[in-house]
Structure 1
Amino acid sequence: MPEVASQSGCVSAMAKFIVLFLFSLLCACRAQVPLIMWTSDGYTLPTLEEPTAGEIVSGAKFESYLKSALTTSPHTVLLFLQAELSMDDFTAYGGVYGNKKDSVFVNLESALQASTTKVLPSLDWTAAESVEEIFQQQLGVPALSVVPSELGQLQLNTAEPSLLLIRLPYTTGAQSKELLRKNDETIGNVLTILQAQSVPYTAVYTGLKPSHVIQDETSMVWGLAGRSLLQAPLQADGKPPVAFNNTEGKPCILLWADQLKLRYDKGNVFDLALLTFNGSATLEGSFCNASVARLVLNYKNVLNFRSLQLIFSMRNSFFPVSARFWSVMEQVVLNYDGQTAIFNGSHDIYNPAEYSFHCQEVSTARNPLLVPRNKDDSATRWTVLFTDFQIQGFNVTGPFSYANDCASFFTPGIWMGLLTALLMVFILTYGLHMIMQLRTMDRFDDPKGPSISVPQNE
């Protein structure tokens, strides 16, 4: 019987990790981390509606569940907070693909077998960053960072709530597997110490941010435009977007781009992105309200000009036909040493007012979205190229809102597929029509009887 129980526990743990693996395949979102919550033996967690495939659990939903969970579970909370954690760590090193002996989460699996467990395969990254604050608010006590080796010296009062924070490191590369094994040993040592002291606990294992983030494979060359994801994340270099604050100190204009290239009179190309996102460019002259947004980027000693201003002018207008407000990029202006170059935005630079605008390429070259106001204007001497460009001038509530992309839905590839499909349908229809027109003879010659006589009129 003990062997049967042991096999049943192993099968249960294996099933849990298979569920985690399946969720990892279904959840292809980037801003998410897994969260595992369990209690010591003898305690249970309240039921939680399982997240649907692809759902990212918000911080509010997790906080609501935590409020009910802490009413029945122990108030001594162990928060194992790893620097980075993703579902791929469990699927790659949790023994899902091969022998369970290869798993680096031996102690974690044992703890899950002996307790009730709640798994959130996809917790919103922003919620993961504030998970420590959520626990502090629910328990009403500050978090106490402890070193596992010193945990045995603490005298814990189980009658009072306590939040013990154990930080776990993480690194990518070949060392990640061994580091995860050491983190699992740390978890096992902490649980062993509390069990030796007969202290009931509620344990949580999660990460501050994902350890595996899918990056967009986008080309950043001149003259290439295409469709990309509709909300540009922080890129690998980690540069945040430019944010201009209103009089209340809240962001009202956001700008992000991978490249902001300018060329004057067929000279050298200069990329303003580095100066823009490292804080060298000032925002003096920028303005925003409910109907107008104007972002001014000021540079010094660029392209042999003492001063250069790059200005984005947007307007928020109500269109009765669609019965909603739309944000339109009216102009992009270059002021350089007392001269002005004005580019009018085409009809493709627009978005619903509550969204942001995103485009893989905004340029004055092929398929231009920026057009010189006058053909004889000084703007014709400039070449402008913005790649992976995203801007929002209205209804900013935090990071970029969902983006309206400039790429049309019916791309050349889609048109080719539709025309090919129509051609195949036509050929199939014609073939069926020909088959339906076939007719068999209504009379046949009987070899045993008299031959058929067909009279002929002379």
Structure 2
Amino acid sequence: MAGSESSSKMRTKIAFIALLFSLLSTGSCSSQVPLVMWSSDGDTLPPLASPAAGHIISNVQLMSYLNSALGSAPHNVLLFLQDKLSKDDFTKYGGVFGNKQDSAFPNLESSSSPLVLPALSWLGASAVPGLLQEKLGVSPLNVDPDTLEHLRLNASENTLLVINLPYSSGAYLSCKDVLRNNDEVIGKVLSIMKAQSVPYTAIYTGLKPSRVIEEPSLIGQSSMSRSLLQAVVDEVKPPLMFNSTRGPCIMLWAQNLNVSFSDQEWIDLGPSTFAPGGSVRTSGSFCNETNSQLVLDYGSSVSPYNPFRLIFSMSQRRYPVSARNWFTLDTVELVFNTLTATYNGSHGIYAPAEYSFHCQNVNNFRNALLVPRNQNATQWRMLFTDFQIQGFSILNGTTDFSYASDCAGFFTPGIWMGLITSLLMLLILTYGLHMIMQLRSMDRFDDPKGPSISVPQSE
């Protein structure tokens, strides 16, 4: 007797582990719920071939098996109907790989020879009470463990008892705690049935899945299957280009062209300058072999400053030391109303004539590349972000800048710190080696066989 009981428990554990592995191997093709079915001790369910991985049991297939499992003899059917249930609940909270103590389904695992349907169609699961009612020919009776204790069941008549189980009870209990409480209810009901010596067939399933995995539609599936998960980058606006009779000769681009008068709110001129259909005009601009001037006329769009213009004046000359031509941004003029603010940029904004100039931050107030030249210039703040300009050597038909000479020097503060630290460590090492090389050993030693060394002491 003890041997048969031990073998029965072993078969139960193996069956439950098989349940978990079958759940893991079943594909998540559509909305589905699992169904676990077992009978009381001494009764066995008819065998059922294990469904193929990814196969979903339909309503017709479930009805066919219920007909063979329940047969024609009277049955007491216990339907544990949970609000929500998914195979992920078993794989996440069930005891597997020897972790039985932490399982949320100890009573379910101890059931004898359970039948496992890991993927039951959602429609089929919600129709289980109707299928059982049609098969048994009786109306379902909703009970709980306390009510069941006062019922006297007749083994010679069909009975359909429905025990409703919750899935979530609010924020005070976790999902695992709710499932463990439901398993305790299942264990209590089975104990009552065993105490009354009434054979039964138990079914545990859910009304709907707790986790619904949506499939992408076939429309556009080819494009979705190889799409990359990346942020959508805004389209980069083309640079502003001034064309002379000989072709393009000046190009300008910036992420932002911010200006502010007397610490007031910043005004961004970028959208009016680079956006398609912007209000800026370039009338008054010119270019030749030695000088270029780009005039950005905003008219009355920058209220209350009317008119409002930005003027970039550049020149190029040959330097014998480098044996090449260099261009400089000599001045930047801001014309507002009838006044002009002039800034000198030749000290920091320069590049070879065939290159463009780029700087991440061009301003007149911190690490300034634009130095105020008159009193009006001290009233304005200018901040050009990701600024790039080219006034010479632009090829015909191109819309791209030439190679950019950046304002960031090669020897950044970090590089200087590394070089100075390395030099200091090298000096310490050199001093240490020098001190070691200056050590001298004794050139006279005391001979024990000869006369001892006498050291005269003078008073």
Please tell me the TM-score bracket, short chain as reference.
0.3 to 0.5
**Structure whose alpha-carbon radius of gyration is higher:** 2
